[in-house]
Structure 1
């Protein structure tokens, strides 16, 4: 898919076990279109069958991560309004595919993280922000409901009831410093260090086995959705048995003993 400037609106680059997804519409502050969402949906759906990729980094080109849906671009405005009127199935498919993909997703948030941008951040596993970044819902500014596509579920679990409802009712901006304090993001770095910080985190993740990462992400997601502690006990025990039976535990113990004996 190419944008009006002739460049790819979504860049997907694989380097080893890390895949970087870049929303490449900096002239529109990376506002998304229906065609871009469709392409993102296809990518994340395919990740379920990718045995080479261990982690995904999602970012925005330029000074902003993503400001939401593009309601100005004349080429796609009518299509977007039609989508909103009948239900945002394309965006819903993309988000379900994001959460279903077994690879951990690292979101690199910078500048404005609004509307759909906020939704992408909330559906990621780890968020690292640059200094000066802010997060906002934006939906109510368009005369729509203040929550959309899982925001009510994710935001209240992420920033707490009061802050989540303030953001939904007023579209107030949550500064990166406050997002860090409430646990919405993992770290704040200078803007020129954001990409390096994301890849450093990705490198730490790729040091572990693909199947261990997949089981960990699945159990974390299921624990959020289950009201019972017993469910987590059972699922996590099954995951540990599966890994132990694969020989992974035996190999790890052998490496540990080798390190101890070499000291």
Structure 2
């Protein structure tokens, strides 16, 4: 466990992807290792969000909303950053009561198959529905069956008729397997890990240059949100001095994330502490 903890500190702590000014001054920054650490920093947020969506864990989703504000702003996606700030206000402040906050997070997901790990985003489900409607219109469009008839007769029943169509095709159509087979990534992961372990991810105390230095989008976005974006957002959206309720770094449970009156919550007035 000590070895695992040492790996976590060396690659996942803020000091790993945000070297001190002294190291920059002495040119002892390992830029290649730094790029790996910043990549892992972003992947932690991505994988957490991906797992939370797939398993319907709204507590995990709520946990990464704040840091997504920094990432979008740090990469120049200001419109997405504004939307994430708006979502952060709805789900983490007293702008909404506890029931409404939970409803907002819960209704962002849908489970079309009813299994534990088949949750998906509502907008993705709508994209699938739009695709089925487009296929239906392409196959059946006539002078009497157009866009209006499609929405009146098919839009609300598309999910059920698609299953019925597939059952009929399986029973009477020619057998054919069009399922895309996903190859195992195990060998590729082991090969890549071996190549990286030979030289790339070794940490050099004396410093090392890299052709491409990954930007610290977390720090860039945090600075922009704290000094510019938050003030603009408050002027446009927030009409009162509503204080931001931010979940602490360590959570006791998913339900505590949504309770601003809980003892495990921290009330802050600046977005700088929305770290994951």
TM-score, normalisation: structure 2: 0.26
TM-score, normalisation: structure 1: 0.27
| Greater Cα radius of gyration, structure 1 or 2 | 2
Which one scores higher on RCO, CA 8 angstroms, separation ≥ 6?
A: 2
Decide which structure has greater helix share. 2
Decide which structure has greater strand share. 1
